[in-house]
Protein backbone atom coordinates (compact mmCIF):
# COMPACT_ATOMS: atom_id res chain seq x y z
CA UNK A 1 0.00 0.00 0.00
CA UNK A 2 1.69 3.21 -1.17
CA UNK A 3 0.82 6.65 0.15
CA UNK A 4 1.46 10.01 -1.44
CA UNK A 5 2.00 11.68 1.92
CA UNK A 6 1.08 12.05 5.53
CA UNK A 7 -2.58 13.04 5.36
CA UNK A 8 -5.07 12.94 8.26
CA UNK A 9 -6.34 9.48 7.29
CA UNK A 10 -2.82 8.06 7.23
CA UNK A 11 -2.06 9.74 10.54
CA UNK A 12 -5.18 8.11 11.98
CA UNK A 13 -3.94 4.68 10.91
CA UNK A 14 -0.59 5.34 12.54
CA UNK A 15 -1.97 6.61 15.85
CA UNK A 16 -4.34 3.65 16.00
CA UNK A 17 -1.39 1.30 15.50
CA UNK A 18 0.59 3.13 18.19
CA UNK A 19 -2.22 2.54 20.66
CA UNK A 20 -2.56 -1.15 19.82
CA UNK A 21 1.10 -2.10 19.24
CA UNK A 22 3.65 0.65 19.92
CA UNK A 23 6.76 -1.48 19.33
CA UNK A 24 8.40 -1.37 15.90
CA UNK A 25 6.13 1.41 14.68
CA UNK A 26 8.61 2.81 12.15
CA UNK A 27 9.01 -0.57 10.43
CA UNK A 28 5.26 -1.10 10.36
CA UNK A 29 4.72 2.31 8.72
CA UNK A 30 7.39 1.65 6.08
CA UNK A 31 5.88 -1.73 5.18
CA UNK A 32 2.23 -0.68 5.23
CA UNK A 33 2.61 2.53 3.24
CA UNK A 34 5.45 1.48 0.93
CA UNK A 35 7.92 4.12 2.05
CA UNK A 36 11.50 4.10 3.31
CA UNK A 37 12.38 3.84 6.98
CA UNK A 38 13.81 7.36 6.78
CA UNK A 39 10.49 8.73 5.51
CA UNK A 40 8.64 6.72 8.16
CA UNK A 41 10.78 8.30 10.87
CA UNK A 42 10.12 11.75 9.40
CA UNK A 43 6.39 11.04 9.51
CA UNK A 44 6.66 9.98 13.15
CA UNK A 45 8.59 13.13 14.01
CA UNK A 46 5.87 15.20 12.35
CA UNK A 47 3.10 13.40 14.23
CA UNK A 48 4.95 13.90 17.52
CA UNK A 49 5.40 17.61 16.73
CA UNK A 50 1.66 17.86 16.00
CA UNK A 51 0.88 16.42 19.44
CA UNK A 52 -0.79 13.21 18.24
CA UNK A 53 2.01 10.96 19.55
CA UNK A 54 4.58 11.08 22.33
CA UNK A 55 8.05 9.52 21.96
CA UNK A 56 10.29 8.14 24.71
CA UNK A 57 13.81 6.83 24.37
CA UNK A 58 16.56 7.80 21.92
CA UNK A 59 18.00 4.88 19.95
CA UNK A 60 14.82 2.75 20.00
CA UNK A 61 11.94 5.13 20.42
CA UNK A 62 8.66 3.92 21.86
CA UNK A 63 5.54 5.82 20.90
CA UNK A 64 2.34 6.42 22.83
CA UNK A 65 -0.77 8.50 22.27
CA UNK A 66 -0.26 12.25 22.64
CA UNK A 67 -2.69 14.89 23.91
CA UNK A 68 -4.20 15.48 20.46
CA UNK A 69 -6.47 13.06 18.62
CA UNK A 70 -7.96 13.26 15.14
CA UNK A 71 -9.36 10.40 13.11
CA UNK A 72 -12.49 9.36 11.24
CA UNK A 73 -14.06 6.15 10.03
CA UNK A 74 -17.10 4.74 8.25
CA UNK A 75 -19.36 2.15 9.84
CA UNK A 76 -22.48 0.39 8.47
CA UNK A 77 -25.77 1.22 10.15
CA UNK A 78 -27.32 -2.26 10.01
CA UNK A 79 -26.88 -4.06 13.32
CA UNK A 80 -24.91 -1.19 14.84
CA UNK A 81 -24.84 -0.99 18.65
CA UNK A 82 -24.22 2.65 19.56
CA UNK A 83 -22.84 1.90 23.01
CA UNK A 84 -20.45 -0.76 21.75
CA UNK A 85 -19.25 1.65 19.07
CA UNK A 86 -18.56 4.18 21.82
CA UNK A 87 -16.69 1.63 23.93
CA UNK A 88 -14.64 0.25 21.05
CA UNK A 89 -13.86 3.28 18.90
CA UNK A 90 -14.26 6.50 20.92
CA UNK A 91 -13.77 6.00 24.67
CA UNK A 92 -10.23 4.52 24.43
CA UNK A 93 -9.02 7.85 23.04
CA UNK A 94 -10.45 9.93 25.88
CA UNK A 95 -8.42 8.61 28.82
CA UNK A 96 -6.98 12.08 29.50
CA UNK A 97 -10.41 13.76 29.50
CA UNK A 98 -12.23 14.55 32.80
CA UNK A 99 -15.01 12.17 33.79
CA UNK A 100 -17.80 14.75 33.58
CA UNK A 101 -16.85 15.62 29.99
CA UNK A 102 -16.65 11.94 29.09
CA UNK A 103 -20.18 11.41 30.43
CA UNK A 104 -21.49 14.26 28.31
CA UNK A 105 -19.68 12.94 25.24
CA UNK A 106 -21.04 9.46 25.93
CA UNK A 107 -24.59 10.77 26.15
CA UNK A 108 -24.39 12.90 23.02
CA UNK A 109 -22.54 10.36 20.89
CA UNK A 110 -24.80 7.41 21.68
CA UNK A 111 -27.97 9.49 21.29
CA UNK A 112 -26.95 10.81 17.87
CA UNK A 113 -25.75 7.43 16.61
CA UNK A 114 -28.98 5.83 17.81
CA UNK A 115 -31.04 8.54 16.09
CA UNK A 116 -29.18 7.90 12.85
CA UNK A 117 -29.66 4.15 13.11
CA UNK A 118 -33.36 4.31 13.94
CA UNK A 119 -34.55 7.32 11.94
CA UNK A 120 -32.23 8.24 9.07
CA UNK A 121 -33.01 5.26 6.80
CA UNK A 122 -29.34 5.46 5.82
CA UNK A 123 -26.82 2.71 5.21
CA UNK A 124 -23.59 4.16 6.57
CA UNK A 125 -22.26 6.56 9.20
CA UNK A 126 -19.14 8.68 9.03
CA UNK A 127 -17.75 9.36 12.50
CA UNK A 128 -15.00 11.83 13.38
CA UNK A 129 -13.27 12.47 16.70
CA UNK A 130 -10.95 15.41 17.27
CA UNK A 131 -9.30 16.30 20.56
CA UNK A 132 -6.81 19.11 21.08
CA UNK A 133 -5.50 21.06 24.06
CA UNK A 134 -8.84 22.79 24.61
CA UNK A 135 -11.73 21.01 22.86
CA UNK A 136 -13.32 17.61 22.25
CA UNK A 137 -15.24 17.50 18.96
CA UNK A 138 -17.37 14.63 17.66
CA UNK A 139 -19.18 14.41 14.33
CA UNK A 140 -21.84 11.85 13.37
CA UNK A 141 -22.83 12.05 9.69
CA UNK A 142 -25.35 9.70 8.04
CA UNK A 143 -26.28 9.18 4.39
CA UNK A 144 -30.01 8.88 4.94
CA UNK A 145 -33.02 11.20 4.99
CA UNK A 146 -32.35 14.76 6.16
CA UNK A 147 -33.84 15.28 9.61
CA UNK A 148 -35.57 18.58 8.84
CA UNK A 149 -37.47 17.23 5.84
CA UNK A 150 -38.41 14.16 7.85
CA UNK A 151 -39.83 16.25 10.71
CA UNK A 152 -41.65 18.44 8.19
CA UNK A 153 -43.39 15.41 6.68
CA UNK A 154 -44.21 13.88 10.06
CA UNK A 155 -45.92 17.05 11.33
CA UNK A 156 -47.25 18.22 7.96
CA UNK A 157 -45.42 21.53 8.31
CA UNK A 158 -45.57 24.04 5.44
CA UNK A 159 -41.80 24.62 5.44
CA UNK A 160 -38.79 22.53 6.58
CA UNK A 161 -37.43 25.53 8.48
CA UNK A 162 -40.24 25.10 10.99
CA UNK A 163 -38.79 21.70 11.86
CA UNK A 164 -36.08 23.51 13.77
CA UNK A 165 -38.71 25.10 15.99
CA UNK A 166 -40.04 21.64 16.88
CA UNK A 167 -36.56 20.31 17.63
CA UNK A 168 -35.90 23.35 19.81
CA UNK A 169 -39.05 22.65 21.86
CA UNK A 170 -37.99 19.06 22.46
CA UNK A 171 -40.02 15.89 23.01
CA UNK A 172 -40.54 15.29 19.31
CA UNK A 173 -39.97 11.90 17.73
CA UNK A 174 -41.24 10.12 14.65
CA UNK A 175 -41.19 6.86 16.67
CA UNK A 176 -42.93 7.59 20.00
CA UNK A 177 -43.17 3.90 20.95
CA UNK A 178 -39.40 3.54 21.08
CA UNK A 179 -38.10 7.08 21.64
CA UNK A 180 -38.84 9.89 24.08
CA UNK A 181 -37.89 12.69 21.69
CA UNK A 182 -35.54 14.15 24.30
CA UNK A 183 -32.17 13.17 22.81
CA UNK A 184 -31.48 16.21 20.65
CA UNK A 185 -32.96 18.66 23.16
CA UNK A 186 -30.76 17.58 26.07
CA UNK A 187 -27.66 16.83 24.00
CA UNK A 188 -27.77 20.27 22.40
CA UNK A 189 -27.69 21.87 25.86
CA UNK A 190 -24.92 19.71 27.31
CA UNK A 191 -22.29 20.72 24.75
CA UNK A 192 -20.68 24.13 24.34
CA UNK A 193 -21.55 24.04 20.65
CA UNK A 194 -24.09 21.75 19.01
CA UNK A 195 -25.15 21.93 15.37
CA UNK A 196 -27.25 19.86 12.97
CA UNK A 197 -26.62 20.26 9.24
CA UNK A 198 -29.28 18.87 6.88
CA UNK A 199 -31.40 19.84 3.90
CA UNK A 200 -29.50 23.09 3.37
CA UNK A 201 -30.28 24.26 6.94
CA UNK A 202 -28.27 24.47 10.16
CA UNK A 203 -29.76 24.17 13.65
CA UNK A 204 -27.32 25.54 16.24
CA UNK A 205 -27.25 25.84 20.01
CA UNK A 206 -24.39 27.47 21.91
CA UNK A 207 -23.70 27.41 25.63
CA UNK A 208 -24.63 30.63 27.34
CA UNK A 209 -27.75 31.16 25.26
CA UNK A 210 -31.23 29.93 26.16
CA UNK A 211 -32.34 29.82 22.56
CA UNK A 212 -31.37 28.15 19.31
CA UNK A 213 -30.35 29.52 15.94
CA UNK A 214 -31.32 28.81 12.35
CA UNK A 215 -28.90 29.34 9.50
CA UNK A 216 -29.40 28.65 5.84
CA UNK A 217 -26.26 26.96 4.54
CA UNK A 218 -25.23 25.54 1.21
CA UNK A 219 -27.40 22.79 -0.21
CA UNK A 220 -26.27 19.82 1.81
CA UNK A 221 -25.51 16.35 0.60
CA UNK A 222 -27.92 13.59 1.45
CA UNK A 223 -28.31 12.88 5.14
CA UNK A 224 -27.79 14.61 8.46
CA UNK A 225 -24.54 15.72 10.10
CA UNK A 226 -24.36 16.46 13.83
CA UNK A 227 -21.37 18.36 15.24
CA UNK A 228 -20.78 18.40 19.03
CA UNK A 229 -18.03 20.37 20.79
CA UNK A 230 -17.18 20.77 24.47
CA UNK A 231 -14.20 22.27 26.30
CA UNK A 232 -11.89 19.74 27.93
CA UNK A 233 -12.03 21.73 31.16
CA UNK A 234 -15.82 22.12 31.22
CA UNK A 235 -17.32 21.72 34.69
CA UNK A 236 -20.80 20.89 33.37
CA UNK A 237 -22.37 17.55 34.24
CA UNK A 238 -25.37 15.91 32.53
CA UNK A 239 -27.66 16.43 35.52
CA UNK A 240 -27.12 20.20 35.31
CA UNK A 241 -29.16 20.09 32.12
CA UNK A 242 -31.66 17.41 33.11
CA UNK A 243 -32.69 19.18 36.33
CA UNK A 244 -33.04 22.55 34.57
CA UNK A 245 -35.96 21.22 32.55
CA UNK A 246 -37.35 18.57 34.91
CA UNK A 247 -40.31 18.78 37.25
CA UNK A 248 -39.18 18.97 40.90
CA UNK A 249 -39.09 15.53 42.54
CA UNK A 250 -40.50 13.89 39.41
CA UNK A 251 -37.53 13.92 37.02
CA UNK A 252 -39.85 14.30 34.05
CA UNK A 253 -39.09 16.63 31.16
CA UNK A 254 -41.99 19.03 31.71
CA UNK A 255 -40.75 22.49 30.65
CA UNK A 256 -39.30 24.07 27.58
CA UNK A 257 -38.08 27.36 26.16
CA UNK A 258 -39.41 28.24 22.71
CA UNK A 259 -37.10 30.49 20.64
CA UNK A 260 -39.62 32.59 18.76
CA UNK A 261 -37.04 33.54 16.14
CA UNK A 262 -37.39 30.01 14.78
CA UNK A 263 -41.12 30.60 14.20
CA UNK A 264 -40.33 33.19 11.53
CA UNK A 265 -39.82 32.22 7.91
CA UNK A 266 -37.30 34.62 6.46
CA UNK A 267 -38.08 38.19 7.46
CA UNK A 268 -41.80 37.72 8.02
CA UNK A 269 -43.41 39.30 11.07
CA UNK A 270 -45.43 37.21 13.51
CA UNK A 271 -48.89 38.68 13.04
CA UNK A 272 -51.47 35.98 12.23
CA UNK A 273 -53.38 33.29 14.09
CA UNK A 274 -52.05 30.64 11.71
CA UNK A 275 -48.50 31.60 12.68
CA UNK A 276 -49.48 31.39 16.35
CA UNK A 277 -50.90 27.90 15.79
CA UNK A 278 -47.51 26.84 14.39
CA UNK A 279 -45.93 28.03 17.63
CA UNK A 280 -48.33 26.29 20.03
CA UNK A 281 -48.07 22.94 18.24
CA UNK A 282 -47.25 20.25 20.83
CA UNK A 283 -47.35 22.62 23.82
CA UNK A 284 -49.53 19.96 25.44
CA UNK A 285 -46.39 17.85 25.96
CA UNK A 286 -45.23 20.29 28.64
CA UNK A 287 -46.43 21.83 31.90
CA UNK A 288 -44.38 25.02 31.60
CA UNK A 289 -43.61 26.87 28.36
CA UNK A 290 -41.50 30.02 28.18
CA UNK A 291 -41.73 31.93 24.91
CA UNK A 292 -38.43 33.70 24.30
CA UNK A 293 -38.98 36.76 22.09
CA UNK A 294 -35.32 37.64 21.74
CA UNK A 295 -34.79 39.16 18.30
CA UNK A 296 -38.51 39.68 17.62
CA UNK A 297 -39.21 43.40 16.99
CA UNK A 298 -43.00 43.22 16.80
CA UNK A 299 -45.98 40.86 16.88
CA UNK A 300 -49.57 41.26 15.74
CA UNK A 301 -52.66 41.49 17.91
CA UNK A 302 -54.13 38.30 16.43
CA UNK A 303 -50.88 36.39 17.00
CA UNK A 304 -50.69 37.43 20.65
CA UNK A 305 -54.40 36.81 21.24
CA UNK A 306 -54.27 33.27 19.83
CA UNK A 307 -51.47 32.24 22.19
CA UNK A 308 -52.02 34.22 25.38
CA UNK A 309 -55.82 34.33 25.46
CA UNK A 310 -57.34 31.61 23.28
CA UNK A 311 -54.79 28.88 23.92
CA UNK A 312 -54.16 29.85 27.54
CA UNK A 313 -57.89 29.77 28.31
CA UNK A 314 -58.34 26.40 26.61
CA UNK A 315 -55.32 24.88 28.39
CA UNK A 316 -55.15 26.28 31.94
CA UNK A 317 -53.02 23.30 33.00
CA UNK A 318 -50.14 24.65 30.88
CA UNK A 319 -48.33 27.61 32.41
CA UNK A 320 -47.24 30.09 29.73
CA UNK A 321 -44.60 32.74 30.33
CA UNK A 322 -42.65 35.10 28.11
CA UNK A 323 -39.19 36.66 28.19
CA UNK A 324 -36.82 39.01 26.37
CA UNK A 325 -39.58 41.19 24.92
CA UNK A 326 -39.13 44.66 23.51
CA UNK A 327 -41.83 47.10 24.76
CA UNK A 328 -43.95 46.80 21.61
CA UNK A 329 -44.11 43.00 21.90
CA UNK A 330 -44.86 43.09 25.62
CA UNK A 331 -47.68 45.58 25.03
CA UNK A 332 -49.41 43.17 22.64
CA UNK A 333 -49.01 40.29 25.08
CA UNK A 334 -50.42 42.33 27.97
CA UNK A 335 -53.40 43.36 25.85
CA UNK A 336 -54.15 39.69 25.17
CA UNK A 337 -53.76 38.77 28.85
CA UNK A 338 -56.12 41.56 29.86
CA UNK A 339 -58.93 39.84 27.96
CA UNK A 340 -58.49 36.45 29.64
CA UNK A 341 -61.58 35.85 31.75
pLDDT in the model for residue 178: 54
Nearest residue to 115 (alpha-carbon basis) of 92, 146, 74, 93: 146
Q: What is the pLDDT of residues 214-268, one digit of tens each?
A: 656 555 568 999 999 999 999 999 888 777 766 555 555 678 888 898 888 888 8
Q: Report pLDDT for 210.
A: 54
Q: How far is CA 32 from the centre of its chain?
A: 36
Q: In which band, very low, low, confident or very high, does the pLDDT at 119 lie, cut at 50, 70 and 90? A: confident
User: Going from the N-terminus, what domains does the chain have, and what CATH number goes with each?
Assistant: 8-65 (1.10.10), 69-241 (3.30.565.10), 254-338 (3.30.750)
Q: Which of 57, 64, 59 is nearest to 25 (CA)?
A: 64
pLDDT at 215: 58
- pLDDT value of residue 168: 79
For the chain, what percent of residues have pLDDT higher than 90? 53
Above 80 in pLDDT, residue 3?
no
| Per-residue DSSP letter, 91 | G
Q: What's the whole-number mean pLDDT along residues 33-50?
A: 93
Residue 258's H or E segment, with its range, is: strand 255-259
Tell which phi-psi region holds residue 23, choosing left (phi > 0), alpha (psi between -120 and 50) or beta. beta
For 33: left if phi > 0, alpha if psi spans -120 to 50, otherwise beta; the answer is: alpha
> Is this prediction's pTM over 0.85?
no
Question: What pLDDT score was predicted for residue 194?
Answer: 93
| pLDDT, tens only, 123-171 | 999 999 999 989 999 999 999 988 888 888 888 888 888 888 888 787 6
Amino acid sequence: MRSAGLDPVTRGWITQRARESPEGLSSWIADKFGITRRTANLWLATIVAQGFLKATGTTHKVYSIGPNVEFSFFVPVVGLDENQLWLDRILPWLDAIPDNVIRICHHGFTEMVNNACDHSEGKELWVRLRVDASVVEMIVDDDGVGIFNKVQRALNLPDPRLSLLELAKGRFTTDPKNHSGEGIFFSSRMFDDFAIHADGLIFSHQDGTKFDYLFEGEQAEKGTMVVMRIARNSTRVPNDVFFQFAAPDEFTFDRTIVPMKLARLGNENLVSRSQAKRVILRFDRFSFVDLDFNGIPTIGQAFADEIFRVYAKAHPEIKLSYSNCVPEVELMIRRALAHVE
